[in-house]
Amino acid sequence: MTQSVTSMLKDGQDYMKTWPLKRELYALFPDCRVVAATRFAVKFMPPAAVLACATMLNTLGSEFLPQALAVGAFFLSMPMQGLLWLGKRSNETLPPQLSHWYQEIFTKMRAEGCAVQKPQHKPRYRELAGLLKTAFEDLDKAFTRQWF
C-alpha cells in the first residue's frame, strides 16, 4: 500500500496526538521518544532555522545565501522527518507478540466495561495507540500497573 507524503504527514500528526506519553511505555516502544522529539522539533526548529539563516547571512554576507538556505531547509525538515516516521509506523501491522498483547488488553478492558472500538483482526500501531490511550485515561492505576 503506497501512501502519498501528505497522507503520511497527516497520519503522523494523528498518531502523535493519539500516542500516550507515559513513562511505563518508554522502555517498550521507541514511539514515545519519537513523539517527544517531534513535538520539540515542531516547536523549536522553525525559529532555529530563521536564527541560523539570519546569523549566517549577517556574519558571512549575502554571497553565502545558498548555504544559509540549505541550513534553514535542514532545520525545517527535522519535524517533517519525525512526522513521516510516525505516519509510516502508525500504518504498520503489529508483530504477532504485540498483536496477542493487544487482544489481551482489549479483552480485559471490555470485561471492565470500557467503551472500546471493535477489535481488529490485524491491528496496526494506530489501534494500539488508541487502546493504550483509552486504558490510561479510563482505567485506574492498579489495572494499568498490571500490564505495564
| pLDDT more than 90, % of the chain | 66
Contact residues for 50 (Cβ-Cβ < 8 A; gap 6+)? 72
Asked whether the predicted pLDDT for residue 146 surpasses 70, the reply is: no
Q: Are 126 and 14 in contact (CB under 8 A)?
A: yes
Q: Are 148 and 25 in contact (CB under 8 A)?
A: yes
Q: Which amino acid is at 40?
A: F
CA-to-CA dists, residue 34 to 15, 82, 83, 113, 130, angstroms:
11, 7, 9, 32, 17
pTM value is 0.84
pLDDT of amino acid 145: 61
Domain spans of the chain? 1-91, 93-148
80 φ, ψ (degrees, to nearest 5): -65, -35
Q: Which three cell numbers stand for residue 75?
A: 532545520
pLDDT of amino acid 107: 85
| Residue 11 exposure: Cα atoms within 13 Å on the Cβ side | 19
Read off the pLDDT of each residue in 29-41 and give the average, rounded to a whole number. Answer: 96
- pLDDT tens digits, one per residue of 87-97: 999 999 999 99
Asked whether the predicted pLDDT for residue 21 surpasses 60, the reply is: yes
Closest CA to 128 of 145, 106, 143, 113: 106
Distance CA 76, CA 82 (A): 11
